[in-house]
Amino acid sequence: MIRMIQVFGLLKGFLFWWNLKVFRSSKIQIPGIKYPVFLRKGIFDSFTLREIFLFRHYEFQWPSHFPEPKHIIDAGANVGFTSIFFANKYPNAAILSLEPEASNFNQLKLNTGPYPAITAIQHALWGTPAHIVVRDMGYGQRGFLVEEVPKGFEKNVFEKGFESWLPLVKVLVIELHDRMVNGTSNTFFKAISKYNFSVEILGDNLIFVNENFEASPR
């Protein structure tokens, strides 16, 4: 409760704690977020919600020499909380939310439905055209493995073909999953090191800023 009060203030923090932890409501109004979000019972939705809205895993400082983002891709959008966070932070951005797993995708559509700027698509981000298999790795709905045997996740995306799009990315936020796919970090850093990105750590995420982009008119 203390963290909730610190982030949202006494009254709003208490009400948020009551609805989330005591009443265990399936519909939560988050202070500062335009529309309520919906949680499924007994799985990781409430944990993910706390990561994003309470512990602010995506609350990084947007580079001052960049205009606000116009396009955001949320790859592995889960139930949509990260997309919703960015939709409220950057209301003029068009957001593409990708989620391959069916039950997560249904919840994603429910949560992002009120936001016309968010487009939800049941697909996975992949390095090459492929048919994928979604397999439960035992981590709950947060831990489905998208695989094209034998490789998967970020490792596949950054193994080849990244030269056509990575230099065009202004800001990249990524959490690496070596515990699920061995060698992911090595492959990713080999790719990103070819370009002039600075990096900072925020929670479980790495924030990369493309320093080759010069200041643009706002």
Q: Please tell me the distance from the alpha carbon of residue 35 to that of residue 128, in angstroms, as a whole number.
A: 36
pLDDT reported for residue 132: 64
Q: Determine the average pLDDT of the residues in 194-214.
A: 92
Model confidence at 12, pLDDT cuts 50, 70, 90, reads confident
Higher pLDDT, residue 19 or 147? 19
Q: Determine the average pLDDT of the residues in 179-202.
A: 92
Which tokens go with 158? 């950054």
149-176 pLDDT, tens digit per residue, is 333 467 889 999 999 999 999 999 998 8
Q: Determine the average pLDDT of the residues in 171-188.
A: 89
Q: Please tell me the distance from the alpha carbon of residue 25 to that of residue 202, in angstroms, as a whole number.
A: 29
Element (H, E) at 12: helix 10-17
pLDDT reported for residue 22: 66
- Over pLDDT 90: what percentage of the chain? 50
Distances (CA, A) of 69 to 36, 108, 152: 24, 22, 28
Q: Please tell me the distance from the alpha carbon of residue 77 to that of residue 104, in angstroms, as a whole number.
A: 8
Examine the pLDDT at 42 and tell me if it is beyond 80: no
Higher pLDDT, residue 128 or 161? 161
Model confidence at 127, pLDDT cuts 50, 70, 90, reads confident
54-113 pLDDT, tens digit per residue, is 988 899 988 888 889 999 999 989 999 999 999 999 999 999 999 999 999 999 999 999
Q: Please tell me the distance from the alpha carbon of residue 73 to that of residue 125, in angstroms, as a whole number.
A: 10
Domains, the chain: 64-210 (3.40.50.150)
Examine the pLDDT at 143 and tell me if it is beyond 80: no
Q: What is the average pLDDT value for the chain, to the nearest integer?
A: 84
Which tokens go with 116? 């016309």
Model confidence at 145, pLDDT cuts 50, 70, 90, reads very low
Q: What letters, b where the CB count within 10 A reaches 16 and e where it falls short, cover 166-175?
A: beebbbbbbe
